[in-house]
A and B are shown apart, each in its own frame.
Chain A
Amino acid sequence: MNGNVEAIADATGIRDFLRRFVRTRSAVLGFILVVLAVATAVLSPWITPNDFSRTNMAFIWEPPGQDFVLGTDAVGRDVLSRLIVGAAVSLVVALSVLVIALVVGTIVGMVAAWKGGWFDALVMRTADVTFAFPDLIVAILIAAMLGPGIPTVILSLAVVSWPGIARITRSLVLSLRSELFVDAAIVSGTPARTILLRHCLPNIVPALIVRASVGVGFVVMAEATLSFLGLGVQEPLPSWGGMIRDGLPALRSEPHLALAAGTALGLTIIGFNLLGDGLRDLLDPRIRER
C-alpha cells in the first residue's frame, strides 16, 4: 500500500486540473501575459532592434515611428529595446529573489518544524520581527546601507520574502507530521532528511507554488518602486520603474516613454497576479469544494 499522497493527486488528474484551469478565464489571461513577459525576457538578446544604451544626439525624444517603433528617450535611446531588456532585468531580479526566498524559506521552515525547540522558536521570532517591519522600509534600509544596485534589490527583497515561505512550510510540515505515512516512515527508521525531502516536500509544493506565484507580482512591483526611487537598477541598465521615472517629467509632451513602461509593468504584474489567483483557486482545497 503506497500511502504517498502523490498517488492521490494522480487520481484527481493533471487532465482535470488543466480543464478547470482553462475554464477560469482570468487565469488563462494571466498565463498568457506571464508567458509574454517571460518570452520577451528570455528572447531579449535576439529581439532587441537596437543597442539599449546607444545614445543618439540626432533623435532625442522621437515619437513612435518608423525608425524607432516606440520612440526614443531624452538621450536618443530606443524605447522598445530598453523595454525588452527591462523585462529581462525585472524578471531576472524577481526570479533570483524567488529562488533565494524559496530555498532559504523551505529549508528553514522544514528544519524548524522537524527539530522544534529553540531553533523553531528562533525562526518564528525572526519571522515575526521581519513581518513587523513594512517591507518597503526594510528594502530601503538595506539599500541605504549597501548603496543602490541590483544585488541590493535582490538581497533586500529576499530578506523580506523568506519568512512568509518559512512560515507556510513550517505549518504544513507540522500538520503532515501527524499523518499516518509519516509516522510509518519514522517508525521504520527512515532518516529525517529523506522523510522531509521525499515525503513532505511534494505535498508542500502546491502551496509553495501558490505562494510563489502570488509573491512574484509583489517582487516585480517592489523592484519597480525601488528603481523608481533611484535605489534599484542603475543606469545604463534599463528598468521599467526607472523608465517611468524618466518619462514622468515628459508626460505632457512626450508620453510614450512613461506610457510604454507603465503599460508593460502593469500588464506583467496583472498577469502574475491573475495567474497566482487562478492557481490558488485551483490548488487550494478549501475553495475547491464549489
Chain B
Amino acid sequence: MISRKLACSVVLATTMALGMAAAVQARDLRININADPEMIDPITYSALIAGDVLRNVYENFTKVDENGKLLPALALKWTASADNLSWRFELRPNVKFHTGRPFGAKDVKTSFEALLAPGSKAGLQLQYLQRIVGAKDVQDGKTKDLVGVKIVSPLVVEIAFTAPDVLFPIYPFMLFDTQVVADKGPNWFMQTSAGTGPFQFVSWQRGQNVQLKAFKDYYGGAPKIDGLRFIVVPSEETAVTMYEAGELDVLVPASTDLSRRIMRDAKLKAQAQMMPNAQINYLGMNQNLYAPFKDKRVREAFCISIDREAMTRGLFGGLAQPLYGQITPGIAGYNPNVKKIAYDPERAKKLLADAGFPNGRGLPPLKIANLAPFRNEIAYYADQWKQVLGVQVDLDIQERATFLRSLNAGETPFFSWGWSAAYPDALYYLSQVWHSKSPFNRARYSNPGFDALIDRATITPDDATRYRQYHAAEALLMDDWGTCGLFMRTAVTLVKPNVKGVVLSPMRILPYGKVTIN
C-alpha cells in the first residue's frame, strides 16, 4: 500500500520534473526572410537581409537596446583623447570566437586590415575605416599593417585618426576571427563561423534557409534555444500561412499590405508587436540620368504632388507616419521643427509649367523603379503624378538583386527607396545617403554645401553643436529639393505566444540571444 503511494508520488514527481524541463523547449527558432541574404560573410556585408542574419553571429564594440540606447558589447569602455584624434577601447575579457580562439585587441586590428585589403570587396564597413591613420596605405596595397591601430595590451586598443571621427564607437562593425581565412581559404564563411555572437553559422542552403546554432560559450550566457533557422519564403502569403500552421515562430512582414492585414485580423493582431522603424523613405531623382530633374522646380513639383497624410492613413492603414525630412524621430539629431511638406497640387502644376513642361508635355518618358512588395506605393505616386501633373510615369518593378546592384551603380534614374539606421545617430542617414562621396548615394546627388556641413559634423564632438549642423544640412537638402521624405513605417512583427524574448528596436530586431520557447 505504502509502496504504491510511493510509486505514485515518484511517478508524479518525475512527470512534473520532466514536464518542467520540457516546458522550455530547446529547439530552433524559425524566422522568415523574404529573399536569400545577399551575402553571408562579414566582409562584403552591405545589405539589410544579410544584416538581420549576421547580427546574430558577429558583434561590434557597442550595441543598442530596444530604445536605441547605446550599451557596451565587445568594448566595455571607450574614451576619446583630448584632441579627439584617437579612441581608446577597453575590450571585454573572456570573450571567445566561435572558432574557440579568444578575442582580443589583435583581432580588432586584423579585422580592419582584412576589410581594407585590396580586392577584399568590402561592403558597408569600409568607409568607417577611412579616417584611420594608415588606412589608405593598406587599401593601396603598400602594406599589410594598419599602423593607426595600436595594440596597447591584449585587451586594450588605441585607434588613431587623421581627422576626428566622433561616432567611431557606434559604427556597426563585424569583428571576426581573421585566422579562419588562413585556415580555410577565401570561402571560409560558407563552412565555418568566426564571430563572437550568441549564434554561430552552420549552413546556407541557397533559396531555402540559413541555419545558425547556439554558441554555448557566449559571454552573455548560452542561448536557451538550439539555434536559429532563417527560412527563405519569397511569397508573403505562404509565410503567413506557414506562421499560422506553426511552421514559423516569428513573422517579419516585408510589405505594407501584409502589415495592414495582420492588424485587421483579430487573432493575428493579438500576436503582433509594433515598433516605428528608424528608416527614411525617400524619392530618388538622379539628375544626371534624367535631364528635367536638373531643374529644382521639377523636383519640387514631383515632391509636393504626394499627399503624405492621406497615404499614411489609407495605404498604410495608420501603420506609418509622414516623413518630411531625412531624419527619423527618435534618432539622435532629429529636428522636431523640421519644415513640413504640404500637399499642394496647384503649386505643383504651376511649377511644372514654369519649368517648361505644362501639363507634363515635353517630358521624356519616365519610369519609377522599385520592388514587387512595394508596388502599391509607387502605383499611388504614379497615379498622383498623372492626376496632378498630367505626367505618365510607368512602373518598373524589378527583382531585388538586380535592383540593388543597379541602385549601387547609380544607374537608376528614378526610384523610391529607404535607408535603415545601422547606428543611432542622424549622421548615418545624412552621410550615407546624401554625401556625394558615399557609395550608397544612389541618386548620385551632389551638393558641395551639404558635403561641407556633413564633413564638419563628423569632426564635431559636442553633441548639441553637431545636431545643429545636422539640422542645417537637412534644411539645405530640403530647400534644394534634392529629395523629399515620404513616410516612416511602423514595423509589425508577429511572434508566437509561446516565444518570449524577441525584442524589437527602432533598428530592426535585436539579436535573439535571450529568446525562450515554451
Which of A's residues lie within 8 Å of B, judged by CB? Answer: 53-61, 74-77, 230, 234-236, 248-254
Q: Which of these, A54, A234, A253, contacts B383 with CB under 8 Å?
A: A54
**Smallest CB separation, A140 vs chain B (Å):** 14
B264 at interface by CB-CB < 8 Å: yes
Sample of 16 further A-B pairs with CB below 8 A, known A249-B257, A250-B261, A252-B240: A53-B379, A54-B387, A55-B380, A57-B315, A58-B310, A58-B314, A60-B314, A76-B314, A234-B395, A234-B397, A235-B379, A235-B395, A235-B397, A236-B395, A249-B235, A253-B261
Contact present for A251 and B237 (CB under 8 Å): yes
Provide the residues of chain A in CB contact with B372, threshold 8 Å.
230
Query: Min CB distance, A79 to chain B, in Å?
Result: 14
Q: How far is the CA of A253 from the CA of B265 in the complex (A)?
A: 8
Nearest-neighbour CB distance to chain A for B480, whole angstroms, equals 28
Interface string of B228-267 (1 = CB under 8 A from A): 0000000111001000000000000000011011001100
Contacts of A55 in B (CB 8 A): 379-380, 383-384
Q: Which of B120-151 contact A (CB under 8 A)?
A: none
CB pair A74–B257 under 8 Å, yes or no, is yes
Q: Which residues of A contact B265 (CB under 8 A)?
A: 252-253
CB distance B380 to A75 under 8 Å? yes
Interchain CB contact under 8 A, B310 and A230: no
Q: Which of chain B's residues have a CB closer than 8 A to the CB of A251?
A: 237
- A56 CA to B384 CA in the complex, in Å? 10
B236 adjacent to A235 (CB under 8 Å): no
Contacts A74-B376, A235-B375, A236-B379 hold; do A253 and B264 have CB atoms under 8 A apart? yes
Q: Smallest Cβ distance from A235 to chain B, in angstroms?
A: 4
Are B317 and A60 in contact (CB-based, < 8 A)?
yes
A75 touches B397 (CB 8 A): no
- Shortest beta-carbon distance, B387 to chain A, in Å? 7
- The answer, yes or no, to whether B382 is at the interface (CB within 8 Å) is yes
Measured in the bound complex, the distance between the Cα atoms of B381 and A57 in whole Å is 11
Other-chain contact of B397, A74, A230, A249, A254 (Cβ < 8 Å):
A230
A-B pairs under 8 A by CB, number: 70
Q: In the complex, A69 Cα to B149 Cα: how many Å?
A: 69
Closest to B396 in A: A234
Residue contacts A-B, CB under 8 angstroms, 27 given: A55-B379, A57-B311, A58-B310, A58-B313, A59-B314, A60-B260, A60-B314, A60-B317, A74-B257, A74-B315, A74-B376, A75-B376, A230-B397, A234-B397, A235-B375, A235-B394, A235-B395, A236-B379, A248-B237, A249-B235, A249-B237, A249-B258, A249-B261, A250-B257, A250-B261, A251-B237, A252-B265
Q: Is the CB of B382 within 8 A of A236?
A: yes
Question: At the interface, yes or no: B350 with Cβ under 8 Å from chain A?
Answer: no
**Does any Cβ of A come within 8 Å of B386's Cβ?**
yes
**How distant is the Cα of A61 from the Cα of B315 in the complex, in angstroms?**
10
Whole-angstrom distance between the alpha carbons of A55 and B306 in the complex? 12
Contact residues in A for B394 (Cβ distance below 8 Å):
234-236
Which B residues are within 8 Å of any A CB, using their own CB?
235-237, 240, 257-258, 260-261, 264-265, 307, 310-311, 313-315, 317, 372, 375-376, 379-380, 382-384, 386-387, 394-395, 397
Query: A residues within 8 A CB of B379?
Result: 53, 55, 75, 77, 235-236
Choose from B236, B307, B380 the contact partner of A249 (Cβ within 8 Å).
B236
Contact check, A53 vs B257: say whether CB atoms are below 8 A apart.
no
B258 touches A57 (CB 8 A): no
Q: How far is the CA of A54 from the CA of B379 in the complex (A)?
A: 9
Chain A residues with Cβ under 8 A from B382's Cβ? 53, 236
Q: What are the residues of chain A within 8 A of B307 when measuring CB–CB? A: 57
Which of A59, A60, A248 has its CB near the most chain B CB atoms (within 10 A)? A60
Q: A74 contacts which chain B residues (CB < 8 A)?
A: 257, 315, 376
- The 10 A-B pairs at the shortest CB distance, nearest first, are namely A57-B314, A249-B237, A55-B383, A57-B310, A235-B395, A74-B376, A55-B380, A75-B376, A75-B379, A60-B314
Please give the distance in Å from B317's CB to the nearest CB on chain A.
7
Complex interface: chain B residues within 8 A of A60 (CB): 260, 314-315, 317
CA gap between A249 and B237 in the complex, in Å: 5
In the assembly, what is the distance between CA of A198 and CA of B385, in Å? 55
CA distance A57 to B317 in the complex (A): 9
In the complex, what residue of chain A is closest to B386 when comparing beta carbons?
A53
- Which residues of B are found within 8 Å of A234, using beta-carbon distances? 394-395, 397
Expressed in whole angstroms, the minimum distance between the Cβ of A234 and any Cβ of chain B is 7
Tell me which of A53, A58, A248 has the highest count of chain B C-beta atoms within 10 A of its own C-beta. Answer: A53
In the bound complex, how far is the Cα of B503 from the Cα of A174, in angstroms? 76
Cβ-closest chain B residue relative to A149: B394
User: Closest CB-CB distance, A156 to chain B, in whole Å?
Assistant: 19
Given A75-B315, A250-B257, A253-B264, A57–B397 Cβ distance below 8 Å?
Answer: no
Chain A: minimal CB distance from B208 (Å): 20
Q: Which of B240, B260, B380, B386 has a CB less than 8 Å from the CB of A57?
A: B380
CA distance A77 to B240 in the complex (A): 25
Q: Looking across the interface, which residue of chain B has its beta carbon closest to that of A57?
A: B314
CB-defined contacts of A53 to chain B, threshold 8 Å: 379, 382-383, 386
Min CB gap B75→A, angstroms: 44
Cα separation A55 to B260 with both chains bound (whole Å)? 17
Complex Cα gap A145–B257 (Å)? 31
| Given contact pairs A75-B376, A249-B257, A236 touches B383 in the complex (Cβ within 8 A) | yes
For B375, the closest partner residue in chain A by CB is A235
Given contacts A75-B380, A75-B383, A230-B397, contact A57 B257 (CB under 8 A): no
A234 vs B372: C-alpha distance in the bound complex, in angstroms?
11
Please name all residues of chain A whose beta carbon is closer than 8 Å to the beta carbon of B314 when the two chains form the complex.
Answer: 56-60, 76
User: Which of chain B's residues have a CB closer than 8 A to the CB of A58?
Assistant: 310, 313-314
